[in-house]
A = this chain, B = another copy of it.
Amino acid sequence: MEENEDSEIIEHHVNEEMEKKGFRTRHTHLFLESVTLSEREGYSTQPSHRLLAYSDALISIIATVMILPVAHTKFQDNEELKESLQQLLSTKIAVYLMTFLIVTVAWAAHIRLFQVIERIDDCLALLNLACMMLITFLPYTFSLMATFPENILGILLFCTCVIVIGLIQAVIVAYGFSHPFLLNDQIQISENQGFYKRHILKVILRVPAFCFIAIIFSFIFFPLSYVLLAFVTFLPYISQSLKWCRSKAIGQLEDTPDSMLFYSYHPNEPLSKERVEAFSDGVYAIVATLLILDICEDNVPDPTEVHHKFSGSLIEALQDFGPEFLAYFGSFATVGLLWFVHHSLFLHVTKATRLMGLLNTFSLAFVGGLPLAYELTHEFPRNSRNELEAIQISCVIIFFAGIFQLAIWVAALFDERETLHPYVHYGGRDHAFMFAKLALYPCVALGTFFVTCALSKFSAPVFHLTQIGVPFVFLLLRLLVRLGLAILRRLFCPTPPPTHNALEEEDPRLPFNDLVT
Question: Chain A interface (Cβ within 8 Å of chain B)?
Answer: 1-7, 9-11, 14, 35-36, 39-40, 42, 44-47, 50-51, 53-54, 57-58, 61-62, 65-66, 68-69, 72, 119, 122-123, 125-126, 129-130, 132-133, 136-137, 139-140, 143-144, 147-148, 151, 153-154, 181, 277-278, 281-282, 284-286, 288-289, 292-293, 295-297, 299-301, 303, 306, 314-315, 318, 328-329, 332-333, 336-337, 339-340, 343-344, 346-347, 350, 423, 429-430, 471, 474-475, 477-478, 507-508, 511-517
Tell me the smallest distance from the CB of A216 to a CB of chain B, in Å. Answer: 19
Q: A61 contacts B289, CB within 8 Å?
A: yes
Q: B340 contacts A296, CB within 8 Å?
A: no
Please pick, from B35, B58, B133, B281, the residue contacting A54 in the complex, using a CB distance under 8 A. Answer: B281
**Distance in angstroms between the alpha carbons of A511 and B41 in the assembled complex:** 11
Q: Contacts A72-B297, A337-B129 given; indicate if A11 touches B292 (C-beta within 8 A).
A: no
Measured CB to CB, the nearest residue on chain B to A289 is B61
The list of the 4 closest CB pairs from A to B, nearest first, reads A57-B285, A129-B336, A7-B516, A7-B517
**Distance in angstroms between the alpha carbons of A42 and B50 in the assembled complex:** 35
Q: A292 contacts B62, CB within 8 Å?
A: yes
Give every chain B residue within 8 A of A39 (Cβ-Cβ).
507-508, 511, 514-515
Q: A286 contacts B61, CB within 8 Å?
A: yes
Give every chain B residue within 8 A of A340 (Cβ-Cβ).
122, 125-126, 129
Q: Contacts A515-B35, A517-B7 given; indicate if A343 touches B293 (C-beta within 8 A).
A: no
Measured CB to CB, the nearest residue on chain B to A142 is B296
Decide if the interface of chain A is mainly helix, strand, loop or mixed.
helix
Give every chain B residue within 8 A of A289 (Cβ-Cβ).
58, 61-62, 65, 136
Q: B296 contacts A65, CB within 8 Å?
A: yes
Please pick, from B314, B336, B347, the residue contacting A148 in the complex, using a CB distance under 8 A. Answer: B314
> How many subunits of this chain does the assembly comprise?
2
A–B Cβ pairs within 8 angstroms, 21 of them: A2-B9, A7-B513, A7-B517, A35-B511, A35-B512, A35-B515, A39-B508, A42-B429, A42-B478, A45-B514, A57-B57, A57-B281, A57-B286, A58-B289, A69-B297, A72-B297, A122-B477, A144-B300, A144-B314, A153-B318, A181-B515
Given A42-B429, A133-B329, 20 extra CB contacts under 8 A: A4-B513, A4-B517, A5-B9, A6-B6, A7-B516, A39-B511, A44-B423, A45-B514, A50-B346, A122-B344, A122-B477, A125-B340, A136-B292, A137-B292, A140-B295, A144-B300, A147-B300, A147-B303, A148-B314, A181-B515
Q: B336 contacts A133, CB within 8 Å?
A: yes
Q: B295 contacts A47, CB within 8 Å?
A: no
Q: Contacts A11-B512, A122-B474 given; indicate if A68 touches B297 (C-beta within 8 A).
A: yes
Measured CB to CB, the nearest residue on chain B to A474 is B126
Tell me the smallest distance from the CB of A56 to a CB of chain B, in Å. Answer: 9
Q: B11 contacts A516, CB within 8 Å?
A: yes
**Distance in angstroms between the alpha carbons of A148 and B312 in the assembled complex:** 10
Tell me the smallest distance from the CB of A27 to a CB of chain B, in Å. Answer: 16
Give every chain B residue within 8 A of A332 (Cβ-Cβ).
133, 136
Most chain-B Cβ atoms within 10 A of its Cβ — which of A129, A328, A515?
A515
Give every chain B residue within 8 A of A53 (Cβ-Cβ).
277-278, 281
**Distance in angstroms between the alpha carbons of A11 and B510 in the assembled complex:** 12
Tell me the smallest distance from the CB of A30 to a CB of chain B, in Å. Answer: 15
Q: B119 contacts A515, CB within 8 Å?
A: yes
Give every chain B residue within 8 A of A9 (Cβ-Cβ).
2, 5
**Distance in angstroms between the alpha carbons of A443 and B315 in the assembled complex:** 50
**Distance in angstroms between the alpha carbons of A181 and B512 in the assembled complex:** 10
Give every chain B residue within 8 A of A66 (Cβ-Cβ).
296
Q: A44 contacts B148, CB within 8 Å?
A: no
Q: Contacts A140-B296, A148-B303, A517-B4 given; indicate if A285 touches B126 (C-beta within 8 A).
A: no
**Distance in angstroms between the alpha carbons of A379 and B269 in the assembled complex:** 48
Measured CB to CB, the nearest residue on chain B to A149 is B303
Tell me the smallest distance from the CB of A149 to a CB of chain B, in Å. Answer: 10
Give every chain B residue within 8 A of A3 (Cβ-Cβ).
517
